[in-house]
Amino acid sequence: MNTPALIMMISVEAVITYLTVWFFYKVLTIKPKPEPDSFSENDEEQR
């Protein structure tokens, strides 16, 4: 492969792979939020 093509491919694919893995890792590791513990928090929003 020529150098510009190699640079373009590796840089773009590295950034996309890094962000994909990073966001998915966050999805896997962030703990779920606790359920609301008061009636007021549980109220549905008014339009």
Partner 1 sequence: MTKSTESWGSRVGLVLAMAGNAVGFGNFLRFPVQAVQNGGGAFIIPYLVSFLLMGIPLLFIEWSSGRFGGKFGHHSTPFIMQSMDRRKLWKYVGVFGIFSNIAIAAYYCYIESWTISYIIHSVIGTFDGMSQHAVAAFFSDYLYISTTTTGIPYEALIFFVICIALNAWILSKGLSSGIEKVAMIGMPLLIIFGIFLAYKGITLKAGVHGAINDGTVGLNFLWTPDFSSLANPKVWLAAAGQIFFTLSVGMGSIQCYASYLKKREDVALNAMSAGWMNEFVEVVLGSAVIIPIGIGYLGIDKVVELTNIGGLGLGFRTMPYLFEQWGPVLSAVAGLAFFGLLFFAGITSSLAMGTPGMGFMMDEFKWSRPRSAWVFGFVVMILGLPTIFFFNEGVFDEYDYWAGTVSLVVFALLEAILFSWVFGLDKGWKEITEGADIKVPLVYRFIIKYITPVALILVFTGALLRPANDDWSKVSFGGWPLHNESILGQLQHKGAGPNNQWFSQSFYAEASGIVDSVYSTPGDKFFFRTSAVDNSGKVNNKVYQYTPVRHQLLIEKGDIVTTGQVVYIGKVINRVFYMDMARLLLLTIFLLISVLVYIAWRNRTNERRTGI
Please tell me the total number of residues recorded for the chain in this structure. 47
36: CB partners within 8 A, 6+ apart: 42
Q: If binding is defined by CB under 8 A, does position 39 make contact with partner 1?
A: no
Minimum CB separation from partner 1 for residue 39, in Å? 14
Q: If binding is defined by CB under 8 A, does position 47 make contact with partner 1?
A: yes
In the stretch 6-35, what mask flags binding to partner 1 with x, by CB under 8 A?
x-xx--xx--xx-xx--xx-xxx-x-xx--
Nearer to partner 1 by C-beta: 39 or 47?
47
CA distance 45 to 47: 6
Instruction: Write out the two tokens for 38.
Output: 């008061």
